[in-house]
Structure 1
Amino acid sequence: MNQLQSMRVFVKVADLGSFVGAAGALDLSTAVVTRHVADLEARLGTRLLNRTTRRLSLTESGRTYLERVRHILDDLEGVEQMVVARNHEPVGTLRIVAPVVFGLHSLAPVVQSYAARYPDVVPDVTLADRHADLVEEGFDVGILVARHMRSASIVTRRLTTACMTVCATPAYLAQHGTPARPEDLLRHPCLSRPPEQGGEERVFTGPGGGEVRVRPVNAIAANNTEMLRQFALLGMGVGILPSYLIGRDLASGRLVPLLGDYRLPPIEITIAYPSRLHLPAKVRTFIDHLVEHFQPAGEPVRASRLGAPGRPAVASLADADSVAVPELTRRLPDTAHARRTRVAESSPV
């Protein structure tokens, strides 16, 4: 029989002084209650109760065992209540992993506003441009940019989309000319990720809906898009960069958007987390907060998103040439708790 259940039965018998009374209180048969106590005595090799036809009494060993068992059961109940509370109230450390550039330019404001809303949760952010095993590495939530995670133990949902924007500095364009069609990129040094990191052939959709395929020649290799942005700002070539990275540069005129009649495929940004089963409140509320943050302006926020059927809400970080990335800095209270957030970067910058 279950040892913990036998302990609970023994305590109830001792408290009520009756097998019949304990059976009624626990909604068990008298035979089952008797068997639980007998099994305990057999396991311990000692008698716990003295039985007569009229009454029960504890033996000396029974009194000692009862005292210790009460403490064990009380501690167990306390642990269970603590775990239940953690699953229903946002509390504890929230481990998040995200790509470096997206994390620096788009995730930081979300984490700060979440920390202000839920002060009992301490975000622990790791930035890494690599595949992270959420379960093995102990992450609660992962953000994926242009990558898919296939695992029976991982749940993914689309968060939002961004776009790739062709751009250059005004000084570069004045010196080298302005590309008018995707084919013109072949005459310019380009700044984009190397082939193994998404810098392969570019497929543009033209104004008439037709496809134009070009394979630009990179001016310089870099495995980090922030570095490519810096090269673009230095006038080293034409950048093909994500909108969430260069929104402020476009808004200020430091970079000029190009090929406005052509569009590149959008970048899908996805949330990943281990299993919907018994999802802790800190994870559930953070995912809801992410979705709320990237919700398109004017679209109502859906309640209970994690349990709702159908497609999740999808937002766009920016249109091809009109990027509202400065909005990512909205509503960011400066709280002492926000400064407790720990960021560990484990990738090249």
Structure 2
Amino acid sequence: MVKPTPESAKSRPAFNIMIVAQAGRLSYEALLFAATLRHSDPTFAGRLFVAEPQPSDRWPNDPRLKPHIRDALEEMGADIIPFTNQHFGHDYPNGNKIEALLALPEGAPFVFFDTDTVITGALSQVPFDFNRPAASMKREGTWPKVELYGPGYGATWKSLYDKFDLDYEATLDLRQPDEYWQRYLYFNAGWFFGPCPLAFGQRFRDYAVAIRDDRPDALVCQELFPWLDQIALPLVITSFDGGRPGPELAGLDGDVTCHWRVLPLAYARESDHVIEVIETASAPNKIKKVLKEYEPMKRMIYQGRGRKVRAMFNRDALPRREQKIRNQIKREGFWMR
């Protein structure tokens, strides 16, 4: 990560963070996120917003946080903000990150993170350029799935850029060969940022709904779920003159943040520092008391199962395929989610 000078850090505007949480697993992940932010970046000057979906006909059960988890988050300095789903909900919970943006303060730069992320360094020192949005490149070629006689990567992606009158050619990574998935702009939606959550969220919503309800012909055989947010995100970022993150953002998915996803995988493959932050930030009794309600955190963090998983793997010689790591953990009876 490029280290900013003290002068540049001081002049950088504060920004807000948004995560989305609701009853169940996400609420415990959100508390761990807040605890690691407070632990790793105690002087963070922005606000941490925890967006909470509200009961509606789009949720068969009440999605709101349990009161004691809400209290624990607020003790960590989080602001709980309600939002109501108009276009997504139980059938596509990934849409929460889209609609929740509309509940944030207008005009204030924002960074969104999935809740299964921990902050492991000084996030406030990352030199974001909010006028050039970007998102996580920690992704695999999950979409599109190219059929033998169907449109290729290029034709599929170009149809989307044409639909929204965007410059497709400018998004290509010409270092990559034609029809190789990494040539085309594709992000993991685990983090992204922009200058104004309302403007960004409105466009994200409009693009996602338009793709869902009126897809281009080239997408007729493509699965849109659960990939819809990651299909629309490159288009939104392009529309705001953004693109792939530069080296100055290497701390994200690096030494400043970790998108851990599943605790057994985190213990198997993440750095000693990431595990130390997770265990240290979750150690205070007030936090431990809540996190222990969630069985995977209870067993992996507090009862030592994570350390047993960790001892099974050499971080310098991990299997290349994630599935092989998963299978090895499952064979030992340590898999939890």
**Pair in the same fold by TM > 0.5:** no
The structure with the largest strand share of the pair is 1
Larger Rg: 1
Shorter-normalised TM-score: what interval? under 0.3
